[in-house]
Chains A and B, each alone.
Chain A
Amino acid sequence: MKNGRVRSAAVVVTGLALAGGVAACSSSGGGSSPGSGSSSASSSVAQLNSMTDAQLYPEAKKEGKVTWYTSMPENDLPAITKAFEKAYPGVSVSALYLTGQTPVTRVETEARSGAISADVVSGSGDAVLLEQAGLTDTSYRPKDAPKLPAGLTMPPGLASDRIITNVITYNPKAVAAAGLKPPTSFADLAQPQWKGKFSMDPTTADLLNALGPTEGDSTVLSMIKALGSNSPVFVTSHSLAASQVAAGTVLAAASSYGQTAVVNEEKDPSTTNFVNPSPLPVLVSEIGIVKNDPDPAAARLFMDWTISKAGQDVVTSLGLTSVRTDVTNNPKVWDPAKWKPVFEDVSQSTAETNKELQEWQSALNYSGTGG
C-alpha cells in the first residue's frame, strides 16, 4: 500500500515537472508575437509588394506552394486550385476548408507558436478579424482588386474574393407533406406552425450584422428572438443548412446560402427551393495574406489571381457570386436590381463583432458556458 502511494507520488511529481515545463513556456507565449517579423523579412516583403505578377511568378515557383485557409465550400476548392495551378505551373495550392471562426483561431494559434503554416486566409469576417489582431500583411495592395459597392470599405491589405447572399431555403415536398405554406420571409418562420421545423446557424451573427444598419438593431434582434423562441434546429454551417433541407431533416433554413440553395434546386427542384428576402442580406468574403507567412510570393500571386477576372470567372462558374461587374453571376442568386442588397459591415471591430455574436446567440438561446 505504501509502495503504491510512493509510485503514485512519483507519477504525480513527474507529471508536475512536465507541467512546470509547459508553464515556463506558456507565460512567454512560446512563439513570436504578431508583428515581430525580422527586418530582412520586411525588406523582402517590400520588394515583393512592388513586383508585378509576372515578376512574382518565378519567386513563387521557388517557394513551390501556397497554403490557403478558407471557408469556401470544400467541393469548390479543387476547381479553383486546379485553375490556379494551370495558370501558374510549379506553384501548388494546399487548400484547407475551415468553418465558422476556425480560420482565425487556427492562424492565431499558429502565430502564438511561431509556426505559421497559412499563407492566405479567406472567409466572411475571418480576414478582417485577423487584420485587427495584427496577423495579416497590411502592406500589400492586391492588383486589380474589385471595386466594392458604395459605402463599403475594405481594411488595408484585404480584398473581396466573393460575396454570399443569405436566403431562406425550404423543401417544397416536405413542406407540402406537413401541410404548411412555403415561407416567404423570416417572420413566417417565427409562426407557431413552424416551431422546431426550421434551422438557424447560431455561430455567426451575419443577419444581424447585415440587416441591423438598415432595419435597426433592435428590430432585427426582436425578429431573431422570435425565431429563437420557435425552437430552431441549430446548424453549424450555412451550407449544411441547405443540405439538411434537401435531405428533409428540417423543412426550412433561415440561415443558408443562395449559392448552395441554387445548386441543390437545380439538382432536384422538388426538394429545394429558396426565397431571396427583401432586403437581401449579403456577406462579404475577404481574402488577405497572413503576416510572416512562409510563402509570401506565392501568397501574393494567389491572392491577385483569385480576385482577378480570371479567378472570379472560375468562382462564378461554380455558382458562387462575385462582386466584380465584369463577370457573369447566377441571376437567380444575384440581381441587385431585383433584390436590394444590404451588406455586412466589414470594418467592424473584433469587440463589436463579438458583442453582436453574443447578442445573436443570446437571442437564439444558444447555450455555452461562456467562461
Chain B
Amino acid sequence: MKRNAILFTACFFLLAACGLAPRTTVPQITGEQPLTPVRLPMGYIPNVQFAPFYIAQEKGYFKEEGITVEFDYRFETDGVALVGAGTLPFAVVSGDQVPLARAQGLPVVFVATWWNGYPVAVMAMKASGIQTVADLKGKKVGIPALSGASYVGFRALLNSEGVKEDELQLEVINYTQVESLISGKEDAVVVYANNEPVQMRARGYEVNVIRVADFVNLASNGLLSNEKILREKSDLVRGMIRAILRGVRDAIADPDEAYTISKKYVDIPAEQDAVQKQVLAASIEFWRTDKPGWSDPAAWQNMELTLRSMGLLTQPLDITKAYSNDFLPA
C-alpha cells in the first residue's frame, strides 16, 4: 500500500513536471547559416503587451535577420545590469532606467523606441470629481513604489502642473491599485494607462484617467543595448530593431491576429479574453507613430530634468549618449 502511494506520488510529480515544462520560445534552426542566439530580458511577466515580440518570433522576422530569440522574463533592473555588463546584448526597458544606469557607469544605450508616450497615468473614480492634476491636492494617492517608472512618471506629471509631492498624501500600495481604489482606501492611484483603467471599466466602474503622456513628453519603453555591441555588432542591432518594428507594425495593422499570436505565449483564461484584448488595444494606441523606433531628444531631455528634480541624478550626465537613432531602418 505504502509502495503504491510512493509510486503514485512519483508518477504525479513526473506528469506534473512534463505538463509544466516551459514552452520553448526558441525556433528550430533549419536555415543554412547559423543563427545568433539572443536571450532577451523583457522586464515583466508574459503579457499581451509584448505582442510585437511574439509576432516577430512567430512570423520568423527574427530568423530572417539571422537571430534566434529566447524571451527572458526577469526584473527590468537585472536586464539593464546584464546588458551593461555585456553579458546580454539587448533588453526591453523603460526610458527612465537608462540615465540612472549611465549615471552609475553602465555603458548602455537605448536604440529603439517602441512606446511613443509614457504609459503611466493617474486614475480616480468618476464620482470623486478628480479630473486634473490640481484636484489631487490634499488627496490620498496610492503608488506601487517610490521608485521605478510609476514614480518617475507621477513626479513628472506633478512637475508639469506645478504641484508639489507634499501637497498630497502619497501612499505606497504595491500593485493593488484596483482593489485600493474600489475599496475607497485611496482617492486616486498611479497606474499604467493601458492596463488598470481597462480592468476597472471591465468591472463596471467609471473612472477618470489623467495620462502623463498628455502633459509631458518622456522617453518611454524600447530596446536597450550597450556601447560595445553597437561598435562591434551593428548588423545584429539593426536586424533586431528591424524585426521588432515589423512586429509592431503588424500588431497595429491587425490587433486580432496579434492577440491570437500572443495567446501562444501568454496563459490567458477564456473569461479574461475580452479584457486582455482591450489591454492590447489600449497598448497599441501608444505604439502608433509616423517615426517608428525614433527617440525624441526632447523626451530624453525631459527625462533627465525629471530625474534631476527628484534627486535621482546628482552628477552631470550627457543625455545625448543615452540614446541613438543611428541603427533604425532607413
Judge: A and B partners, yes or no. no
